[in-house]
Amino acid sequence: PTTQESIVSNVCSGSQTMTNSQVQAELYTTMREFLPRFMPDPLNSYIRDSLHMPFYDGESSNREGGIEIVGFHWSGVELCTMLMMLWTLMICRELRGTYETHSAVWTKARLAPLTTDLTRNASGHLVLRAVTVTRATWITVFVTLPRFVIACLLLVGGSYFIVSAGNMEDLILNALSLEFIIHTDELLYSVIASKNTRMIVEEVQPLRLGQFWNRFRTHFKVFMILGIVVYVFMVNEMILGPVVSNMKAAMTTMCGGDIKFLSRRYSDGVVRTVDPVTTSEEIVENSYGYCAVLQRTGLAGATVDTWWGQVKPLF
């Protein structure tokens, strides 16, 4: 190439002049955006100077890469952890709503009434006073348990879906798509349920929760917070950790060590390496190869001044 630099050097320095190895360049750029504080070991001066970055001593806040949010550059790991935390909170809200529904229904069924009683009070609002054990059992089997299982599956599957993002933009888009999935049941209800059914549900007064929830509400909140922290930590260690390790290994393999050399395999099978020679733009434009190609193109302004010792237009 006219830059007289190796392909590896161009890839690792983020050169925009790459025509070959475009896949490697894009892959390394993606990993560098995801891990902006990581540099291949050893950190040689060529990569650092090409990226215009200072020495990284482990205390620097950020360098090129990541996404700036509220004045702070979030790396891929930090952004992924934050999104998984938000996703876990959404699932916990769904699980809490599922348990509240289960507790409220069985509170009305604990006295084993013979019929389901739905009446209007003095203010004209619908009040659910009793639910049969059979109806409560059907609600548990076909509503509560499926919601619980689906929420748990979405929690695990959503975590993998967030981590599997190909770049920083896909990371955010994957999180937004999960927000749509979690509200699918409400969308189906608004479309499938009749208007009369929706009006009746809206008129029914909120049900009271069972004594168990009222007694251990504070303990449940503490347990939920601890569970969220433990789950996010486990996801970081078991799912995100191997991904980050593979990225670091790939970055070190691609751009670690001494990369400032050119190599070529000759017909005799011998591979020779040489140090690249920096060629100025003026020397390149006056070289025989450059002028020969320029002459062949027939572009106006082509000159011959290198091998004939004179300067005059070719055309």
Q: What is the pLDDT of residue 287?
A: 67
286-305 confidence digits (pLDDT tens)? 666 767 777 777 665 555 55
Q: What is the pLDDT of residue 11?
A: 65
Q: How far apart are CA 109 and CA 21, in angstroms?
A: 68
pTM: 0.69
Residue 91 — very low, low, confident or very high, per pLDDT cuts 50/70/90? very high
Pairing of the two strands 262-265 and 126-130: unpaired
The one-letter amino acid code at 190 reads S
Q: What is the pLDDT of residue 45?
A: 55
Phi, psi dihedrals of residue 118, rounded to the nearest 5°? -125, 105
For residues 208-213, give the mean pLDDT.
72
Q: How far apart are CA 64 and CA 243, in angstroms?
A: 20
Is residue 171 within 8 A of residue 165, CB to CB? The reply is yes
Q: What is the pLDDT of residue 226?
A: 92
Q: How far apart are CA 221 and CA 215, in angstroms?
A: 12
**HEC string of the chain?**
CCCCCCHHHHHHCCCCCCCCCHHHHHHHHHHHHHCCCCCCCCCCHHHHHHHCCCCCCCCCCCCCCCEEECCEEECHHHHHHHHHHHHHHHHHHHHHHHHHHHHHHHHHHCCCCCCCEEEECCCCCEEEEECCHHHHHHHHHHHHHHHHHHHHHHHHHHHHHHHCCCCHHHHHHHHHHHHHHHCHHHHHHHHHCCHHHHHHHHHECCCCCCHHHHHCHHHHHHHHHHHHHHHHHHHHHHHHHHHHHHHHHHHHHHHCCCCCCEEEECCCCCEEEECCCCCCHHHHHCCHHHHHHHHHHCCCCCECCCCCCCCCECC
Between the CA of residue 130 and those of 116, 118, 163, 207, 269, what are the distances in Å? 5, 7, 46, 11, 88
308: which residues sit within 8 A by CB, 6+ positions away?
Answer: none
Q: What is the pLDDT of residue 138?
A: 93
CA angle 285, 286, 287 (to 5 degrees): 95
Closest by alpha carbon to 38, among 18, 14, 66, 10?
A: 66
170-191 confidence digits (pLDDT tens)? 888 888 888 888 888 888 888 9
